[in-house]
Amino acid sequence: MIKRPVHIGSPEGVDGAAAEFLAAAGEARVIALSGELGAGKTTFIRAMCRALGVEQTVTSPTFALVNEYFTRDGEPVYHIDLYRIEDTEELFDLGYEEYVYSGFRCFIEWPEKAGPLIPEDALRAEMIVHPDGSREIRF
**Can you give the CATH number for the domain in which 104 is found?**
3.40.50.300
Q: Is residue 1 in a domain?
A: no
Number of domains in the chain: 1
So what's the pLDDT on residue 63? 82
Q: What is the mean pLDDT of each run of 10 residues along the chain (139 residues)?
A: 80 94 92 96 97 94 91 97 93 93 97 95 95 92
So what's the pLDDT on residue 64? 86
Amino acid at position 91, single letter: L
- Domain span including residue 82: 6-138
So what's the pLDDT on residue 139? 85
Query: Are 34 and 4 contacting, i.e. CB atoms less than 8 angstroms apart?
Result: no
Q: Tell me how far apart the alpha carbons of residues 20 and 6 are, in angstroms, rounded to a whole number.
A: 7
**How much is the pTM?**
0.93
